[in-house]
Structure 1
Amino acid sequence: MLAEADFATMSLKKMYAHCGGAILVNRNSKVLSEQQIEAMGVTIKRQTTTDYGNGYRSYSGLMGDGMVEIIAGLVCAVDEEIVGKRIAQCGMVSCYLKDRYDFPIIHGGHAIYVAADQVLPNVPLANCPAEYLNAIFMRSLQIRGCGLGYLVYGQRTTVKDAGEEGENVIFKNKLNMDSLRLAVPRCEYTNEEMIAFLSIIGEAYAEGKFQDLKGGLTPVNYVDNGFYHFGGKYAFHDEAEFTKISSVLRESADQV
């Protein structure tokens, strides 16, 4: 793949062996000029809190063992057997949750996508059900995720804020769904470990413990324009409700 490319750039944020991620490959140099590539880097740097532009030429502060980890991660990332096992594991766990607990899952892909708006039917989309569910899972079970739906794809309007935090962002959504993608570390957990923890969520759903939740979150003072699901700040509508459901799930986890 890389041999066919004019240039390639890699995102070092999430890989099998190191904090790295996707590779952007271009075959036609005429499509993106040097000026356009530089402009793209400047834009990304302005919109995110990540450090963009660190390359291999000087290691950019990376130690030698870090480079070895990156190489190992790249090998794993293109190994069809490893990638296949990862996708199969996510598919197996998703089917288990759906079949045993009728837990709302969006099937497909290399991750576990939870239909957050169905898990929290009484939390309006405007109150960010995916991010609210993400906060609950993180507080109670240390399971991290990322909302993909309302905040990412919805239309938005902005209102200027006089404070130092930046801008308040008001979302006007044209979607009728909100999903939560669970972060599944590469090659980290066995199937049994995945099922043991996610069964806590499945059982809570089957017992109706999410049904009456109505709080949710309000996005406030974003500084990461364009990447709300990564850099946003939120305020609780009902922090007591959040604390209660988190404690219930935590107690269940302590018994596993």
Structure 2
Amino acid sequence: MELPFAESWKIKMIEPIHKSTRQERECWMKEAHYNVFQLRSEQVYIDLITDSGTGAMSDRQWAGMMIGDESYAGASSFFKLKEMITLLTGFDYVIPTHQGRAAENVLFSYLVHAGDVVPGNSHFDTTKGHIEGRKAIALDCTIDEAKQTQLEIPFKGNVDLAKLERALQTHADRVPFIIVTITNNTAGGQPVSMQNLRGVRDLANKYHKPVLFDSARFAENAYFIKIREKGYADKSIKEITREMFDLADGMTMSAKKDGIVNMGGFIATRRKDWYDGAKGFCVQFEGYLTYGGMSGRDMNALAIGLDENTAFENLDTRIRQVAYLAAKLDEYGIPYQRPAGGHAIFVDAPRVLTCVPREEFPAQTLTIELYLEAGIRACEIGYLLADRDPVTRENRFNGLDLLRLAIPRRVYTDNHMNVIAVALKNVFDRREKITRGVHIAWEAPLMRHFTVELERL
């Protein structure tokens, strides 16, 4: 008999979590203006708001933190981190930052200007915010199949190469670079194939444009290439990772995801002009070049985390747990972005709350209902996150409206996945009774979903 699957790690420290009553949760949610970002952590039973900075570090990472070099300039911890990044990516120039959006801020301060057009595959919230905040345009060139949540294809995060070429022809000198997000978070944690990355590189070469990877979940993307793309089954994750980055000129990284640290990020590039252009903004916004926004102990932990999370066993354990939750939702008939992605399950909210009009934000309404049901905090990736069109100021309803169940790395067990699935089933079973959603009482002009205040209708 074949042995059942088991995690590639064992638990040696725990953190208590506590249940609450429905009455308590209704009060807390109202006080939070129906925005789960405004809830206190102790008001949450299972926290799926993000997989960013919420993973459990290993014994090796904690040990590495104890010997962090906190020198202001030239810390050995920086060079350990740089060595690991160069090993994985081939990029010689590295600038540490305190997290991914800081990396974007530093690099885009040099690269993005008013009137520019930045084509890519479903820019995530901070990426789009940093582009549109500079009066530039984030142009989505994702394949159309990504919007068909029930369609099963292996690389749903791919760039539509025809759309990309039209963008490069139409906007020409207005395009400072092409950005590819690996994996594609906004499209449902969907991977990008190596073949597609090569196609992007070929077009970039044809039109003389550099390529930037938004690399928060690059290791998960490499995992899917290994198990889904022909010719990669026998290659290691590190080998696939290096081949991916050979097709790019640089990367921004939120290390809080695939680096499995609580805080950190970086820019890495093979282009000295990008490094020279960005390093002044690092000093201005983040800190000196050999620490950016990171402490030495955090750089040590990140170097080890990057090494651990580019091991197949670690990724396999993590992504199998996401697939386990997907299988439970299949049992209950709950629609989500198929196939299951690398870091989360993305429930198709308009297919669940069919009576809630889009103007009342179905995914946000489903987020609220799941919290009220069981104290589970998820996150809307949809019409609220999309912000308003910068020209018309109308809400953007042209994308997907998803409830994201982001699974922290090495934190929860399959028993927690069972609770999540049953709680969502309970909401699903009473979906026809949920006929009204929410409306906006106050919002920020950019990245509004973090701070928006809502009212129930």
TM class by smaller structure: 0.5 to 0.7
Q: What is the CA distance between 1:62 and its match in structure 2?
A: 4.1
Where 2:389 maps in the other structure, the secondary structure is strand
Contact 1:222 1:232 in 2 (8 A): yes
- Name the aligned partner's letter for residue 104 of structure 1: P
1:138 equivalent to 2:371? Answer yes
Say whether residues 1:233 and 2:452 are aligned partners: yes
Contact 1:155 1:174 in 2 (8 A): no
Partners in 2 of 1:67 and 1:35 — Cα distance? 23
Shift of 1:102: 0.4
- How many Å separate the matches in 2 of 1:215 and 1:54? 47
Amino acid at match of 1:11: S
Work out whether residues 154 and 174 of structure 1, in 8 Å CA contact, stay in contact via their aligned partners in 2.
no
Q: Which runs of 5+ in 1 are unaligned?
A: 43-51, 160-168, 239-256
Q: Classify 1:121/1:78 alpha carbon distance in 2 versus 1 (closer, same or farther; 3 Å).
A: same
Using the TM superposition, give the Cα deviation of residue 101 of structure 1 relative to its aligned residue in structure 2, in angstroms.
Answer: 0.9
- 1:81: Cα distance to partner? 1.3
Find the aligned partners of 1:106 and 1:182 in 2 and give their Cα distance. Answer: 11
TM-fit CA distance, 1:146: 2.3
Q: Residue in 2 aligned with 1:217?
A: 438
Residue 173 of structure 1 is matched in structure 2 by: 397
C-alpha separation between the residues in 2 aligned to 1:198 and 1:120?
A: 17
The offset of 1:83, in angstroms, is 1.2
Rounded Cα–Cα distance in structure 1 between residues aligned with 2:373 and 2:386: 28
Aligned length in residues: 212
Residues 220 and 180 (structure 1 numbering): CA distance in 2 closer, same or farther, change over 3 Å? same
Higher relative contact order (CA 8 A, sep 6+): 2
Bigger radius of gyration among the two: 2
CA drift at 1:54: 5.7
Give the SS at the match of 2:376. Answer: coil
Q: 1:56 to 1:38 in 2, by over 3 A?
A: closer
Of the structure 1 ranges 146-155 and 113-122, higher mean CA displacement relative to structure 2 is found in: 146-155
Structure 2 counterpart of 1:29, one-letter code: K
Q: Does 1:35 align with 2:288?
A: no
Amino acid at match of 2:91: A
1:45-69 CA-to-partner distances (Å, cap 9, x unmatched) read: xxxxxxx7367835857484x5554
Aligned-pair CA distance for 1:115 = 0.7
Q: Is the 8 A contact 1:113 1:182 kept in 2?
A: yes
Mapped partners of 2:375, 2:259: distance in 1: 20
How far apart are residue 219 of structure 1 and its match? 3.3
How large is the RMSD of aligned CA atoms in angstroms?
3.4
Task: Tell me: CA distance 1:222–1:29, structure 2 relative to 1, closer, same or farther (3 Å).
Answer: farther
Aligned partner of 1:151: which letter?
L
1:67/1:35 CA distance change after superposition, 3 Å: closer
Match of 1:195 in 2: 418
Pairing partner for 2:262 from 15, 19, 24: 19
CA distance in 1, matches of 2:264, 2:294: 18
- CA distance in 1: counterparts of 2:405 and 2:306, whole angstroms: 22
Partner of 2:406: 183
For each residue in 1:187-209, what CA deviation from the matched residue of structure 2 results, as whole angstroms up to 9, or x when unmatched?
1122233113322212441x3x1
Question: Does residue 6 in structure 1 map to residue 248 in structure 2?
Answer: no
SS at structure 2 position matched to 1:174: coil
Which amino acid in the other structure matches residue 405 of structure 2?
L
Question: Structure 1: which amino acid aligns with 2:456?
Answer: H
Q: Which residue number in structure 2 is paired with residue 247 of structure 1?
A: none
1:49-198 correspondence to structure 2 within 5 Å: 53=286, 57-58=290-291, 62=295, 64=297, 66-98=298-330, 100-107=331-338, 108-110=340-342, 111-153=344-386, 156-157=389-390, 170-175=394-399, 177-198=400-421
The residue identity in structure 2 corresponding to 1:35 is G
Alignment partners' CA distance in 2, 1:21 and 1:233: 26
State the one-letter code of the partner of 2:333: D
TM-score computed with the length of structure 1 as normaliser: 0.67
**d(CA) in 1 for partners of 2:288 and 2:410?**
26
Pairwise CA distance, 1:39: 5.9
Distance 2:360 2:282 in 1: 32
Taking a change above 3 Å as real, the CA distance of residues 29 and 62 of structure 1, as seen in their structure-2 partners, is closer
Identity %: 22
Q: Give per-residue Cα distances to partners, 1:96-148, cap 9 Å, x unaligned.
A: 211x2101111232111111111111112222211222223234433232222
TM-score by length of 2: 0.40
1:26 Cα deviation (Å)? 2.2
- Residues 38, 94 of structure 1: CA spacing in aligned structure 2 closer, same or farther, 3 A cutoff? farther
Contact 1:105 1:112 in 2 (8 A): yes
Distance 1:150 1:59, change over 3 A: closer
> In the alignment, is the contact (CA less than 8 A) between 2:383 and 2:396 conserved in 1?
no
| Aligned mates of 1:219, 1:23 — CA distance in 2 | 35
